[in-house]
Structure 1
Amino acid sequence: MVCEISQSFFFDAAHTLDRAIETAASRRIHGHTYNAEVFLTGQPDPATGMVTDLGLVRRELALLREQLDHHLLDEVPGLGPTTLENLCQFIFSKLLPALPTVTSVRVWRVSIGDGCRVTRPL
């Protein structure tokens, strides 16, 4: 049986964005509270009963959160334009080396109701 586990976290960050609509507001430095959830999928280990130890997941998320929380996202190396799509892909790529069972990352902003999810095919 395949199981999917998840762990969520949040971070507050500022950014700018060059876009064709809502141009003036987007180009000014502004901030959001971002929520993120990481999904890990696999067969539970027979000895531990776990797909991945959630303590390990929380440790890796804490390290990643330090790179994002209370930062100007425009200055985060490797992120690119600060879209939800790029945030999802950035989080995914940063976690994959330490958490190879990561299959999906979701990022959303409750205050304005938008979000994105990137998923790796199984």
Structure 2
Amino acid sequence: MKKFLITALLLLVATGLFAQKSKEIFHYNVVFAPDLSNRLNSSLYPKAVNDADIVQGVLQNIWPDLLKQRRSEGQLDHYSVDFINKGLVNIYKVNPELLNIDFQRFERQNDRINYVM
């Protein structure tokens, strides 16, 4: 009787493991590429929407929507800023590495969580 119960229990556990659905993990790779060419002086170069407003709108959706809700363990998102006008990077001495968030650099999920919080 013990063998029967143990066998039945093992079969039940094995069946339960196979029945679990695998969860698909999405890795977000977001690159902000503002085109600041000829737009630094809005009185000389007016346009319908300011680049800063567009980037701010996207950032408001990333935090907290993408970074805090529906996260999966092991997500390796990468967020970066890349300037179309590379001359501005040199003029304003921008360090693009400081404008990156790369979750691949963290080995543990807890490190990613602590970084976001």
TM-score by length of 1: 0.28
- Where is the strand percentage greater, Structure 1 or Structure 2? 1
Structure number with bigger Rg? 2
- Where is the helix percentage greater, Structure 1 or Structure 2? 2
